[in-house]
């Protein structure tokens, strides 16, 4: 390396030092420690005791573990695609250059700003079986609303509906992506006599597919970690553990049952699941995602 | 140039100042004078006032120790968190059932030596209450306020339903019959309920005991014993009779416990299992209510289970890592004295966990049923929570099972078999880990 | 032909407007309901059928919620929670702006061996969920004696975050290299280039990450839940949850008022910084 390169490298490392330290202290060390603890019986009040694979074998026989996995999967499988549909749908509507676009955009975006605890508290009230706005609204069109908060069949749907209210954030991203699509492509499609639906399917979606992919991956990572809203709305995952999600169980194991090794094992399993899903998404995306968009 | 380079410098100073300020906000206060100890307690309202009076009295009576009382919600979780984090209060007011778990995790200090020095022993207390704090041969907690529970019922509603208001149900079967007469519906909506097994819903785990079932026998989990199953069948009978959905809808309109919208106090539920504190809430929020208390019913074929009562206890512990354990115990000792204890219990309108009460304690006590609650505490069918280190998990399982049974999603046998199947390996695993820990 | 097309367009636009208005209603209703409930007296929250406009508008519900517990605690909870949250936001935003700009500069403007690999690793760390790190980090903070203080909530912000590094690096790369080279010819050090050439131009991007960090801190719940012990040190999110779990059930009007108190500053902030918000969000989505 030339002297100039050496100087540049040294400067580069100096500039990057906060991250280097941060990476080692807040990422690498905890990640490795977490694996170690997952093989131990560890309550932070006492030093860890090595117990080999016991935490993992216990996990695989733990019905609550499977229940929280399935709850989380159920939530993700519905909330993610529905969220994307709503966000893209809204963005498509707004993309038609209607008057008052900025106002609508603000209206749809505002709910995604609401802090999660406020969100949970607000929807606790909205979903109230007797006095909640949701059931009142349903009542006005002649449907007897269920007990969203105390019926295990409806507690997760309630959370999914709630999550749809907060898609304004994603909508804005999709809107920007839509506005980036070159108009010529639409004009060309028009010349071919394409219907609006054809245009969406063959021009719009492919052109914003990178955005969709990004949102999908971020969505997977976020949805699998859902914690705050169910923690506030459904303590203990009641009723009947229907809203007991993975991170809540992890948290309880760590801080309520003092089984931190067990919690670390759960954490690593979650990480592996996220990795796998991300890889799968990326692999699938190679066929479907169309880069090079934008003028 | 001068302008611009000043800006970030100011910014950095501002940030540094904020950082220093943030440290000040979370630093413990160090003042000269008496040793300051922190005491976390769960009570609010008039119950909190009662303890505050005791703390003030203690602080007033001597100069060496100053107790700082802090009201904390979710106290059993918060104290565990604080102890794990190495920053616990000196005294914490937990619930009796927390003791075993904390002790197993070495989160609380044994008080046995302190007690010996102070001459505090089991002979001073009503047996069931001393027992709650005594675990694996050590004293881990001492009582604050005791509780026992009884059937509270609405005399006016009984009268209106053609039942004798001075003859409350004695057996479970009578309870069920009374409940039927007392329940009023408007179409499919329940307007008044005679009795609901999950009201208030704080002791859903305990119903088995009322039918003679135990959750733990020695070192074996016995969740699905026949008596427990029978209890859950009784619970499910209410859902069958009144409709699980209808009950749920009814319950979602209930108000907060400590408000006039409390279901018992707003006359929505005619009979309810409640504790010695109930009198106080009624007199505050529904003074016009015509009510009475009686021992909770027992199954007709098991007269040996008469006078069942859930006994619970608020306790004081010294978390491991507390900075001033000796001073902490001085305060605890004060609370255990007859003077301190009665000041507290009278203030909360409860009975005293001490065997001896000062003359006139019962006469002066505003709760008309105070003797009943004290007698119930001596009952041979007093039911404390099982002293087991995995109580939080066990309780969570039982609550889940209760929900499943109540919502008619599982039969009682299925639900309890499930609890048994889950808890048994968990318990064995736990015992094994305890042994490994002790070996180290 | 043109006429019927125009008519088609008109009816299409009308239809779209209708749909948008209905949807807007759905999106706005919950917030309006929150306000409506917050202003009602308690009995009116449970009337059947429900009303929108309370018969008596209780503005003091807001002050009641704000000052609840003041007598027993000796301080005004929400005021204290707000102050604590603000302190954390200031420290967090400062840390995020300082540390991430430095790191992004290294990735974007400097050449060094392994740089692109390191950047890929940085991106990959975004996949690591907090729960897997939670226990060891907690144990680490405990060893430091930091549990119960604010430090675990703002110190990590001073050591970089993958997301902000990513955003800033993309932005920094879009600044022409000629500017840096010109400065180098003038004999400027890297620090000088960073400080006097790149940073001034980066203001929009910095504003965005500052905003995101601010919102994240305002919103954070799990962090305060495990690191803060004394109620006097709680943040708004945690304080609201404590308020809800203590007074849950009936006091819906106060609860909604308290909830509104926590939401309001963010909404206000949004109206003042709309441009940055939208820009920032689109930046994250598009450059991904």
- Cα(A238)–Cα(A256) distance, integer angstroms: 16
Alpha carbon distances (Å) from A184 to A98, A205, A295: 20, 15, 10
Assign C147 to helix, strand or coil: strand
Size of interface B-C (CB pairs under 8 A): 83
What pLDDT score was predicted for residue C71? 63
User: Over the Cα atoms of chain C, what is R_g?
Assistant: 25
Q: What is the pTM of this model?
A: 0.84
pLDDT at residue C288 greater than cutoff 50:
no
pLDDT > 70? residue C49: no
* B contact chains, 3+ CB pairs < 8 A: A, C
Residue C281: pLDDT band with limits 50, 70, 90: low
Give pLDDT tens digits for C221-251. Answer: 999 999 998 888 999 999 888 888 775 455 7
Alpha carbon B316 to chain centroid, angstroms: 13
Residue C103 has pLDDT above 70, yes or no: yes
Structure tokens belonging to residue B222:
């016995």
Is there a contact between B65 and B330 (Cβ–Cβ < 8 Å)? yes
What pLDDT was estimated at residue B152?
94
* Facing residue for C150 by CB, picked from B22, B86, B257: B22
User: Which residues neighbour A136 within 8 Å (Cβ) at sequence distance 6 or greater?
Assistant: A145, C49, C50
pLDDT of residue A238 exceeding 80, the answer is: no
Test B80 with A241 for CB contact under 8 angstroms: no
Q: What is the mean pLDDT of residues C32-47?
A: 79
**In whole angstroms, what is the distance from residue A172 CA to residue A106 CA?**
9
Q: Do A29 and C33 touch (CB under 8 A)?
A: no
Q: Is A41 on the interface with B (CB under 8 A)?
A: yes
Per the CB < 8 Å rule, is A151 touching B407?
yes
Q: Give percent above pLDDT 70 in chain C.
A: 88
Distance of alpha carbon A14 from alpha carbon B238, whole angstroms:
71
> Cβ contact (<8 Å) for A49 and B252?
no
Residue A109 contacts residue A116 (beta carbons within 8 Å): no
Chain C interface disruption, residue of A117, A224, A266, A270, most C CBs within 10 A: A117
All residues of chain B having their beta carbon less than 8 Å from the beta carbon of residue A241 are 400
Alpha-carbon distance values, A74 to A146, A161, A243, C100 (Å): 19, 13, 10, 36
Residue A284 vs residue C165, higher pLDDT: C165
Are residues C100 and C201 in contact, defined by beta-carbon separation less than 8 angstroms?
Answer: no
C-alpha distances (whole Å) from A221 to each of A217, A276, B136, C117, C129 are 6, 11, 45, 22, 7
Cα–Cα distance measured from residue C167 to residue C119, given in angstroms and rounded to the nearest whole number: 12
- Looking up tokens 């119930």, which residue turns up? B376
Instruction: For residue C213, give the nearest of C165, C170, C174 by alpha carbon.
Output: C165
Instruction: Return the residue of A nearest to C129 by Cα.
Output: A271
| Cβ neighbours of B70 in C, within 8 Å | 230-231
Is the separation of the CB atoms in C131 and C142 below 8 Å? no
Size of chain B in residues = 440
Provide the 8-state DSSP code for C150: S
Chain A contact for C119, CB < 8 A? no
Model confidence at A295, pLDDT cuts 50, 70, 90, reads very low
Q: What does residue B178 show for φ and ψ, rounded to 5 degrees? A: -55, -45
Between the alpha carbon of residue C5 and those of residues A200, B295, B372, C2, C8, the distances in Å are 20, 82, 86, 5, 5
Q: Using CB atoms, which residue from C91, C145, C249 is nearest to B22?
A: C91
Q: Cβ of B73 and C242 within 8 Å?
A: yes
Positions in chain B whose pLDDT score sits under 50: 1
Tokens of C284: 């994250």
Question: Residue A81: pLDDT band by 50, 70, 90 thresholds?
Answer: very high
Give the closest-approach CA distance of C72 to chain A in angstroms. 24
User: Looking at beta carbons, which residues of chain A come within 8 Å of B399?
Assistant: 236, 238
Helix (H) or strand (E) holding C122: helix C115-124
**What are residue B39's DSSP bridge partners?**
B69, B91
- Better-scored residue on pLDDT, C10 or B129: B129
pLDDT of residue A294: 41
Q: In whole angstroms, what is the distance from residue B139 CA to residue B120 CA?
A: 11
Contact list, B71 vs chain C (CB under 8 Å): 72-73, 231
Inter-chain residue contact C147 with B85, CB threshold 8 Å: yes
End-to-end Cα separation, chain C, in angstroms? 44
Q: Which residue of C has its CA nearest to A258?
A: C135
Contact A116 C237 (CB under 8 A): yes
Tens-digit pLDDT profile for residues B122-131:
998 999 999 8
* Nearest-neighbour CA in chain C from A147: distance (Å): 15
Top-ranked range on mean pLDDT: pick from A25-29, A114-118, B428-432, C41-45: A25-29
* B71–chain C nearest CA distance, Å: 8
Task: Give exposure, B148-174, as e/b (b: 16+ Cβ within 10 Å).
Answer: bbbbbbbbebbeebebebeebbbbbee
- What would the 3-class secondary structure string for chain B be? CHHHHHHHHHHHHHHHHHHHHHHHHHCCCCCCCCEEEEEEECCCHHHHHHHHHHHHHHHHHCCCEEEEEEECCCHHHHHHHHHHCCCCCCEEEEEHHHHHHHHHCCCECCCHHHHHHHCCCHHHECHHHHHHHEECCEECCEEEEEECEEEEEEHHHHHHCCCCCCCCCCEHHHHHHHHHHHCEEECCEEEEEEECCCCCCCCHHHHHHHCCCCCEECCEECCCCHHHHHHHHHHHHHHHHHCHHHHHHHHHCCCCCCCCCCCCCCCCEEEEEEECCHHHHHHHHCCCCCEEEECCCECCCCHHHCCCEECEEEEEECECCCCCHHHHHHHHHHHHCHHHHHHHHHHCCCCCCECCCCCCHHHHCCCCCHHHHHHHHCCCCEECCCCCCCHHHHHHHHHHHHHHHHCCCCCHHHHHHHHHHHHHHHHHHHHHHHHHHHHC
Buried b (16+ CB within 10 A) or exposed e, A237-262: bbbbbbbbbbbbbbbbbbbbbbbbbb
Q: What is the pLDDT of residues A254-278, one digit of tens each?
A: 988 888 999 999 999 999 999 999 8
B77 and A CB contact within 8 Å: yes
Q: Which residue has the tokens 């889940």?
A: B400
Predicted local confidence at residue B417, as pLDDT: 93
Average confidence score pLDDT of chain B: 88
Kindly report which listed range (A90-99, A152-161, B122-131, B419-428) carries the lowest average pLDDT score: A90-99
Nearest to C285 among A177, A246, A247 (CB): A177
Looking up tokens 């881990």, which residue turns up?
A: B140
* Cβ–Cβ gap A16/C102 under 8 Å: yes
The residue among B249, B261, B388 with the most chain A CBs within 10 A of its CB, best to mutate, is B249
Residues facing residue B171 across a β-bridge = B298
| Cβ separation A121–C259 shorter than 8 A | yes
Residue C74 clears pLDDT 70, i.e. is over it: no
Q: Are A155 and A149 in contact (CB under 8 A)?
A: yes
- Residue A185 is predicted with a pLDDT of 81
The chain-wide mean pLDDT, for chain A, equals 86
Q: What's residue A293's pLDDT? A: 45
Of A73, A44, A27, A58, nearest to A266 (Cα)?
A: A58
């Amino acid at each position: 390396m030339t002297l100039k390169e050496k100087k540049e490298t040294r400067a580069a490392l100096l500039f990057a030092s906060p991250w280097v330290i941060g990476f080692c202290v807040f990422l690498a060390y905890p990640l490795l420690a977490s694996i170690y603890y997952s093989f131990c019986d560890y309550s932070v009040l006492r030093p860890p005791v090595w117990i080999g694979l016991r935490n993992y074998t216990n996990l695989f026989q733990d019905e609550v573990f499977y229940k929280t996995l399935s709850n989380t999967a159920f939530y993700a499988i519905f909330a993610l695609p529905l969220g994307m549909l709503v966000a893209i749908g809204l963005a498509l509507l707004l993309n038609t250059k209607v008057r008052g676009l900025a106002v609508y955009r603000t209206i749809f975006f505002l709910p995604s700003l609401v802090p999660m605890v406020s969100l949970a508290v607000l929807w606790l009230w909205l979903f109230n079986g007797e006095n909640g706005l949701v059931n009142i609204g349903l009542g006005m069109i002649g449907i007897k609303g269920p007990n969203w908060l105390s019926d295990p069949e409806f507690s997760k749907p309630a959370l999914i509906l709630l999550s749809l209210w907060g898609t304004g954030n994603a909508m804005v991203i999709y809107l920007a992506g839509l506005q980036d699509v070159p108009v010529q492509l639409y004009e060309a499609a028009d010349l071919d006599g394409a219907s609006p639906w054809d245009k969406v399917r063959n021009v719009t979606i492919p052109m914003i597919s990178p955005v969709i992919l990004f949102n999908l991956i971020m969505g997977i990572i976020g949805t699998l970690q859902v914690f705050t809203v169910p923690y506030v709305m459904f303590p203990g995952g009641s009723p009947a553990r229907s809203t007991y999600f993975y991170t809540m169980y992890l948290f309880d194991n760590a801080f309520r049952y003092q089984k931190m090794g067990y919690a670390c094992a759960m954490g690593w399993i979650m990480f592996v699941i996220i990795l796998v899903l991300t890889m799968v998404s990326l692999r699938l995306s190679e066929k479907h995602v169309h880069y090079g968009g934008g003028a | 140039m001068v302008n611009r380079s000043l800006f970030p410098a100011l910014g950095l100073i501002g940030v540094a100042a904020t950082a220093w300020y943030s440290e000040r906000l979370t630093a413990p206060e160090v003042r000269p004078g008496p040793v300051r100890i922190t005491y976390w307690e769960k009570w609010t309202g008039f119950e909190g006032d009662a303890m505050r009076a005791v703390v003030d009295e203690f602080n007033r009576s001597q100069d060496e120790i100053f107790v700082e009382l802090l009201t904390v919600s979710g106290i059993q979780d918060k104290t565990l968190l604080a102890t794990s984090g190495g920053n616990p209060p000196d005294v914490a007011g937990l619930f009796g059932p927390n003791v075993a778990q904390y002790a197993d995790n070495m989160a609380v200090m044994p008080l046995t030596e302190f007690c010996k020095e102070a001459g505090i022993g089991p002979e001073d207390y009503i047996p069931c209450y001393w027992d709650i704090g005594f675990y694996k041969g050590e004293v881990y907690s001492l009582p604050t306020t005791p509780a026992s529970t009884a059937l509270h019922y609405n005399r006016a509603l009984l009268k209106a339903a053609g039942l004798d208001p001075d003859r409350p149900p004695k057996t479970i079967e009578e309870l069920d019959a009374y409940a039927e007469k007392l329940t009023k519906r408007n179409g499919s909506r329940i307007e008044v309920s005679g009795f609901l097994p999950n009201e208030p819903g704080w002791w859903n785990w305990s119903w088995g005991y009322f039918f003679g079932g135990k959750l733990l026998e020695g070192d074996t989990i016995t969740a699905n014993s026949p008596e427990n199953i029978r209890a859950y069948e009784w619970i499910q009978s209410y859902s069958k009779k009144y409709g699980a959905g209808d009950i749920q809808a009814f319950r979602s309109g209930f108000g907060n416990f400590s408000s006039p919208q409390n279901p018992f106090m707003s006359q929505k539920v005619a009979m309810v299992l409640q504790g010695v504190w109930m009198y106080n809430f009624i007199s505050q929020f529904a003074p016009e209510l015509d009510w009475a208390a009686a021992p909770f019913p027992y199954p007709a074929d098991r007269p040996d289970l008469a006078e069942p009562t859930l006994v619970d206890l608020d306790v004081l512990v010294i978390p491991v890592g507390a900075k001033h354990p000796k001073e902490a115990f001085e305060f605890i000792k004060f609370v255990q004295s007859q003077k301190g204890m009665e000041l507290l219990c009278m203030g909360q309108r409860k009975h005293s966990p001490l065997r001896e009460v000062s003359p006139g304690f019962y006469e002066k006590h505003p709760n008309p049923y105070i003797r009943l609650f004290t007698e119930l505490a001596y009952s041979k069918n007093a039911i404390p929570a099982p002293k087991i280190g995995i109580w939080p998990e066990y309780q969570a399982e039982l609550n889940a099972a209760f929900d499943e049974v109540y919502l008619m999603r599982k039969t009682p046998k299925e639900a309890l078999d499930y609890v048994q199947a889950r808890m048994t390996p968990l318990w064995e695993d736990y015992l094994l880990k305890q042994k490994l820990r002790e070996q180290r | 032909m043109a006429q019927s097309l125009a008519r088609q367009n008109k009816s299409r636009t009308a239809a779209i407007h209708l749909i948008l208005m209905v949807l807007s209603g759905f999106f706005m209703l919950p917030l309006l309901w929150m306000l409506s409930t917050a202003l009602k007296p308690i009995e009116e929250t449970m009337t059947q059928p429900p009303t929108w406009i309370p018969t008596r508008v209780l503005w003091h519900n807001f002050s009641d919620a704000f000052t609840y517990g003041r007598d027993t605690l000796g301080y005004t909870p929400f005021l204290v929670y707000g102050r604590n949250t603000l302190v954390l936001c200031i420290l967090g935003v400062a840390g995020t702006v300082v540390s991430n700009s430095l790191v992004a500069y290294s990735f974007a403007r400097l050449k060094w061996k392994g740089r692109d690999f390191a950047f890929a690793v940085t991106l990959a760390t975004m996949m690591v969920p907090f729960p897997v790190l939670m226990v060891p980090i907690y144990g680490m903070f405990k060893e430091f004696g930091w549990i119960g203080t604010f430090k675990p909530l703002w110190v990590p912000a001073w050591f970089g975050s993958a997301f902000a590094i990513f955003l800033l690096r993309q932005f920094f790369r879009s600044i022409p290299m000629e500017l840096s080279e010109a400065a180098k010819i003038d004999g400027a050090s890297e620090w000088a280039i960073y400080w006097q050439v790149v940073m001034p131009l980066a203001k929009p991007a910095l504003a965005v990450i500052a905003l995101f960090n601010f919102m994240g801190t305002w919103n954070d719940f799990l962090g305060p839940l495990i690191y803060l012990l004394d109620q006097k040190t709680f943040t708004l999110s945690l304080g609201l949850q404590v308020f809800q779990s203590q007074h849950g059930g009936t006091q819906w009007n106060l609860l909604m008022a308290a909830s509104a108190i926590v939401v309001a500053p963010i909404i206000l902030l949004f109206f003042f910084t709309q441009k940055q918000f939208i820009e920032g969000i689109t930046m994250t989505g598009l450059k991904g």
